[in-house]
Amino acid sequence: MNALQPALLPLLLAALCVGPGCAKKPPPAAVVPQGPAEHELFVQARKDEVVQSLAVCESGSWGPHSNRISGGRGSYHGRFQYTPRTYITLQQRRDGTVLTPREAVEAAQDYEKAAALTSWVMFEQGETWHWPLCNRKLGLAAKVQEINAL
């Protein structure tokens, strides 16, 4: 069932009303969104799917994990395989926060923090080139462009 259907019911009934008892049509019901709009939820869900698919491509899975994830002989960290220098640079660009290399490694290991930064990098900055192999494999640039056009 579509959530908008109950709001459309008075309009549909008014349109179908024929006869002497239906001379005065009721005013259309106002649709009051509760929480984020359906469109925003749809767009956010699409963004989350792309971020999750990138995490799977980079590290084999997505979401929080109990073990530290490292690749490239310890040079890359977390589900999104950030180097400390890249994480520091992107985080500073995002909100001005200056991290130490140790803090950057810890943040990269925290899925929620790293996913939020990754989403910002891809959808706000349009930078998918930080993940060259998965960018090509998943078609990230095209997906980001498509979602940003919604």
Does residue 29 carry a pLDDT above 80? Answer: no
Calpha distance 61→40 (Å, rounded): 26
Q: Provide the CATH number for the domain around residue 82.
A: 1.10.530
Q: By CB neighbour count within 10 A (0-12 exposed, 13-18 middle, 19+ buried), where does 26 fall?
A: exposed
Does residue 32 carry a pLDDT above 60? Answer: no
**pTM strictly above 0.95:** no
Amino acid 10: pLDDT: 52
Range of the domain at 68: 37-148
Q: What is the CA radius of gyration of the chain?
A: 23
12 domain residue, yes or no: no
20 domain residue, yes or no: no
Calpha distance 43→103 (Å, rounded): 31
More confident residue, 16 or 115: 115
Mean pLDDT of the chain: 85
Please compute the mean of the pLDDT values over residues 16-43 and round it to a whole number: 61
* Number of domains composing the chain: 1
4 domain residue, yes or no: no
60 domain residue, yes or no: yes
